Structure 1
Amino acid sequence: MSEENIKCILGKVFNNLADTIETGEFGEKIKIGITLLGSEHGIYNIVKGAEMAQQKHSSLEVILIGPEVETDLKIYPADTQEKQHKKMEELLDMGEIQAAVTMHYNFPIGVSTIGRVVTPGKGKEMLIATTTGTSSVNRTEGMVKNAIYGIITAKTIGIQNPTIGILNVDGARQVERALKELNSNGYNINFAESIRKDGGCIMRGNDLLTATPDIMVSDSLTGNLLMKVFSSYTTGGDYEAIGYGYGPGIGEGYQRNILILSRASGEPVIANAILYATQLVRGKIMEVSKKEFERVKKANLQGILRELKKDVKKEKIEEVKMPSKEVVAASIAGIDILELEDAVKMLWKNGIYAESGMGCTGPIVMVSERKQDQAIKILSQEGYITQRSGC
C-alpha cells in the first residue's frame, strides 16, 4: 500500500472520529430524506445537491425519495409529488429518517418555517422568522409566534442567547409591545439594537444587509420575499445559490422535522439545507421546541395574544373634535402605522393638537414642542408607544 493511500485512509478515520465526537452518535448515521420532484432546475439538480451534502459529512446518510436515477445514494421510489410526500411522511413517522427536505409541502395553520441566509453586508448568517407557512391567521399574533419559532431554531443550532430584531413592517410596534410583555413575564428575550443612530429593536433595511440580529422577525410573506432576494441576488433571480433554504416547520405540538426548499433552489442551497437539517437533528429540535413552548406558556403567552387580537387596550375613536391648530415641530416615533390615526385622535381627545406623518424610521405623530412630554405620557398610558428600555 502506498504512502498516499495510507494517508487517505488515516484521513477518513480521523474525519469519522471527529464526526462521532461532534454528534455523539457511535456507529449511527443521521439519515436525512430529500424529495426529487418539483424543482424548476430538474431532478439532477436535487441529486447533485444531495450528493454534495453526503460528501461533506461521513456521519450523514442522504436518502432520496422519487423516481429512479443514476446515483450511489439510496432511493425510495415515488413517481408523483403526492406519492413522494406520502413516502416522506411514512419514513419520518417510522423513524427511518430523522428529517426531510422538500418542496411544495403544505403545513397546517400554526406551523411556519425559519429560513437561514447569508447577508451581503458582513457575510453573516441570519435566521428569518418566518418564510413559508402561517403561524396564525392574525398577522401580529403570527409575528409574535414567529419570534418564538426563531428562538427555538436558533437554540437548536447552537445559538443559546439569540438576538431578536423586528422588521419595520405593519404591526411591528404591536409585536414589540407583546414581546416586551412576554420578556417582563419571565421569558427572556435578547433584543437586538439597530445599527442606525436612533437604535431600537425595530430593524431597517440596513439591518437586513448586515445581519444585525440573529433572528429577523417578519410576517411569512415578507420573509418569503427576503429569502428569494438573499438567495438569488447574485444570479439574476432564477437560481438560488446562497443560504440554507426556507428552513424547518415549527409549531406547538408539531412532530415532523421537515425543511422547505424553493423550486428555484440550486445545488449549493440544497446541500446546505440538508446540513441545516442535520444540525436540527443533532440539536434535538423537538426537545428544544417542547421546552420553549412550556416556558412561554408560563410567561402567559396565550393571555398576551388574546389581548393583542382583541386590541382592548385602545379605544376606537370615531368622532372627536380637533383642537385649534398649533405649530408642530416635535415628533414622536414608535407608533404602529395601523394605529397612527387613532393615536392622533387620542391626543385630540385630550386637548392636544397633533398631526400624523412618516419619518425616516416609520410613522410619527407631530405635536408642539411644549406639549411633547405630555403627549408621550398619554400615548404611553394608552398603549400606543412603549418605553425604549430593554429594546
Structure 2
Amino acid sequence: MRIGVDAMGGDFAPEAVVLGAIEAQKQFSDVRLVLIGDKVRIEEILNREGADVASFDIVHTDQVIEMGEHPVKAFSSKPQSSIAIGFKLLMDGKIQGFASAGSTGGMMVGAMYTIKQIDGVIRPTIASPIPVSLDKKAILLDVGLNPDCKPEVLVQYAMLGSVYAKYVLGIDNPHVGLLNIGEEEEKGSILTQTTHQLLKETKNINFIGNIEGNDVFTGKADVIVTDGFTGNVLLKAAESFYELLHKQGIKNDFFEGFNFENVGGTPVLGVNGVVIIGHGISNAKAIKNMIKQAIDCAKGGIVEHIRENLE
C-alpha cells in the first residue's frame, strides 16, 4: 500500500510533515509513504534526522497552493503543485490514499476535479471522529462542508457514516442518530422531521431515532447525522472545552480526544478515493495521525464499501 502525503501542506511544512512522516513510517512499516514536494528540502530533513531516504518515495514539485489563494484558480494555474500532483497520483492508482494539511479548498477542488464523487452520491461530506468514551469513538457528519442540506443528503450521510463506523472504527451494525432538539418524531425543523421519516424507511441503516445534544458524547449513537452548519458548531464547541482545560493545565483523557493532534484529520466521504484533510497548524504528531487516518480508511476499503451500499 502506498499513501501520498503533501509535504508542502500546512503552516509548518515541510518540516512538520516530514517529521510526522518519519514517525508514521516507524509505526506502519508495511506502508510506503510517498512525499510530494520540494525534494531537496525533504531529503535535507530526512538526512538530518538520520532517516533512511530510501524508505520513502519522493515526488518533486515546485509549486504550492497557498492557504489564501482562490482554490479553483490555484488548482487550475498550478498543475505542478503538491496537491495537484497528489490527486493525479491518486486518480492514476499510484497511491491508495492522499493526505494534506494544506489548503482545504484546494483539497476539495482537487477531489472534485480529478477523482470526482462516487456515482450516486449527491454530495460528499467531511466527517469527524469524536470520543464517546475513553476507548470508543463515534462519527459526526457533516462538520462544515455542506451547511445547507436536503433530507435525501442527510440520509446518504447516515449511510456514509455507517460505512466508516463499520469498516474504520470497527463497529458492527452501527447505531445512527439524527441530531435534533427532541427525541419525538414531530420535533425539530422541517428538514429534521422529513429526514426522520426517510431514515425510518431506509432498510440498510440501523436508525435509532432522534438524539439530542446531551446524547452526543454518551455513545448512544455511533453515527451522528446533521447538516454542516450544526455539525461544525457542535464540533468546535466541544473542541473549545479541550482548549479551556489545556489552558488551565488540566489533563483530561476524554477531552484529549478533541485535540486535533490526536485526531489527525477529517476524511472526505463520498469521493472515489481516500482523501484526508488535516489542520493547517498541524505539527509532527498531528501529521503522523493524519497519515494513520488515511491508512485506516484505505485498509478498511471504505470507498469500495460505499459503492457496494449505493448499488
* TM-score, normalised with respect to structure 1: 0.57
CA RMSD of the aligned region, Å? 2.8
Aligned partner of 1:154 among 125, 145, 165 = 165
Would the alpha carbon gap of residues 261 and 291 (structure 1) be closer, same or farther in structure 2, given more than 3 Å must change? same
1:261 aligns with 2:278: yes
1:85 aligns with 2:93: no
Q: Unaligned stretches of 5+ in structure 1?
A: 1-29, 193-200, 295-391
Would the alpha carbon gap of residues 230 and 273 (structure 1) be closer, same or farther in structure 2, given more than 3 Å must change? farther
1:113 aligns with 2:119: no
Measure the CA separation in 2 of the matches of 1:262 and 1:155.
Answer: 25
Q: Unaligned stretches of 5+ in structure 2?
A: 47-52, 66-74, 76-80, 113-121, 182-188, 248-258
* 1:227-284 deviations in Å (ceiling 9; x for gaps): 445556434599723324211x222xx3222112222444433322322221222222
Measure the CA separation in 2 of the matches of 1:37 and 1:228.
Answer: 26
Write the letter of the residue equivalent to 2:58: I
Measure the CA separation in 1 of the matches of 2:58 and 2:241.
Answer: 33
Paired position in structure 1 for 2:36: 65
Q: How does 1:338-353 map to 2 (within 5 A)?
A: none
Partner secondary structure for residue 125 of structure 1: strand
Partner secondary structure for residue 241 of structure 1: helix
Paired position in structure 2 for 1:32: 3
Q: Contact conserved, 2:264 with 2:279, CA < 8 A, in 1?
A: no
Write the letter of the residue equivalent to 2:97: A
1:270 aligns with 2:287: yes
Paired position in structure 2 for 1:172: 192
* 1:293-317 deviations in Å (ceiling 9; x for gaps): 01xxxxxxxxxxxxxxxxxxxxxxx
Aligned partner of 2:99 among 76, 98, 101 = 101
Partner secondary structure for residue 263 of structure 1: coil
Partner secondary structure for residue 133 of structure 1: coil
1:141 aligns with 2:138: no
Partner secondary structure for residue 129 of structure 2: strand
1:76 aligns with 2:59: yes
Paired position in structure 2 for 1:188: 204
Measure the CA separation in 2 of the matches of 1:258 and 1:206.
Answer: 31
Q: Contact conserved, 2:148 with 2:229, CA < 8 A, in 1?
A: no
Measure the CA separation in 2 of the matches of 1:221 and 1:267.
Answer: 30
Q: How does 1:1-391 map to 2 (within 5 A)?
A: 30-67=1-38, 68-69=41-42, 70-71=45-46, 72=53, 73-78=56-61, 79-81=63-65, 82=75, 83-102=81-100, 103=102, 104=104, 105-106=107-108, 107-108=111-112, 110-119=123-132, 122-134=134-146, 138-157=149-168, 158-168=170-180, 170=189, 171-182=191-202, 187-192=203-208, 201-230=209-238, 233-235=241-243, 240-247=260-267, 249-251=268-270, 254-294=271-311
Flag the structure with more relative contact order, 1 or 2, with Cα contacts below 8 A and sequence separation at least 6: 2
Q: Contact conserved, 1:35 with 1:84, CA < 8 A, in 2?
A: yes
Measure the CA separation in 1 of the matches of 2:263 and 2:218.
Answer: 15
Spell out structure 1 runs of 4+ moving beyond 6 A: none
Residue 162 (structure 1) shift: 0.9
Would the alpha carbon gap of residues 210 and 53 (structure 1) be closer, same or farther in structure 2, given more than 3 Å must change? farther
Partner secondary structure for residue 37 of structure 1: coil
Partner secondary structure for residue 131 of structure 1: coil
* TM-score, normalised with respect to structure 2: 0.70
Measure the CA separation in 1 of the matches of 2:241 and 2:282.
Answer: 13
- Alignment size in residue pairs: 248
Write the letter of the residue equivalent to 1:116: P
Partner secondary structure for residue 4 of structure 2: strand
